Amino acid sequence: MAPMYSPKCHKKLNGKVVVLTGGNTGIGKETARDLSKRGARVIILCRDTNKGDAAAEEITHETHFVVKCVKLDLASLRSVRECAENILETEDKIDYLINNAGVMMCPYWKTEDGFDMQFGTNHLGHFLLTEMLLPLVKKSAAGGFRPRIVLVSSMAHESFGMNWNDINFEKSYNSLKAYCQSKLANVLHAKELAERLDGSGISVYSLHPGVIKTELTRHTNETWYGKMFYFFTNAFYLTPVEGCQTTLYCILEDSIVDHSGRYYSGCQEKTPSSNALKEADQKRLRDISSKLVCLTPKD
Kindly list the domain boundaries of the chain, sorted by start residue: 14-290
Mean pLDDT of 16-30: 96
Q: Which of 101, 105, 99 is closest to 217 using CA atoms?
A: 105
Give the torsion through C-alpha atoms of 65, 66, 67, 69, to 10 deg: 180
DSSP letter at 242? H
Per residue in 252-293, pLDDT (tens digit) is 999 999 999 999 999 999 999 999 999 999 999 999 999 999
Relative to beta strand 96-99, strand 148-152 is: parallel
pLDDT reported for residue 227: 52
Helix axis angle, 245-252 to 26-37, nearest 10°? 40
Q: Is residue 224 predicted with pLDDT exceeding 80?
A: no
The proportion of the chain whose per-residue pLDDT surpasses 90, expressed as a percent, equals: 87
Mean pLDDT of 14-27: 96
Mean pLDDT of 127-140: 98
Q: Which of 218, 104, 109, 106 is closest to 168 using CA atoms?
A: 109
In the chain, at which residue ranges do the beta strands (DSSP E only) sit? Answer: 17-21, 41-46, 67-71, 96-99, 148-152, 203-208, 263-265, 268-270
The proportion of the chain whose per-residue pLDDT surpasses 70, expressed as a percent, equals: 90
Average predicted confidence (pLDDT) for the chain:
92
In sequence order, what are the residues at sequence separation of 6 or more whose Cβ sits closer than 8 angstroms to the Cβ of residue 266? 2, 3, 210, 246
pLDDT reported for residue 296: 73
**Catalytically annotated residue among 5, 96, 173, 179:** 179
Determine the distance from the C-alpha atom of residue 102 to the mean position of all C-alpha atoms in its chain, rounded to a whole number.
Answer: 8
| Distance in angstroms (rounded) separating the CA atoms of residues 171 and 258 | 42
pLDDT reported for residue 255: 98
Q: Is residue 113 predicted with pLDDT exceeding 60?
A: yes
Task: Look up 263 and say whether it is catalytic.
Answer: no
Please give the CATH topology (third level) of the domain spanning 14-290.
Rossmann fold (3.40.50)
Q: What is the pTM of this model?
A: 0.92
The answer to whether the beta carbons of residues 15 and 42 sit under 8 Å apart is: no
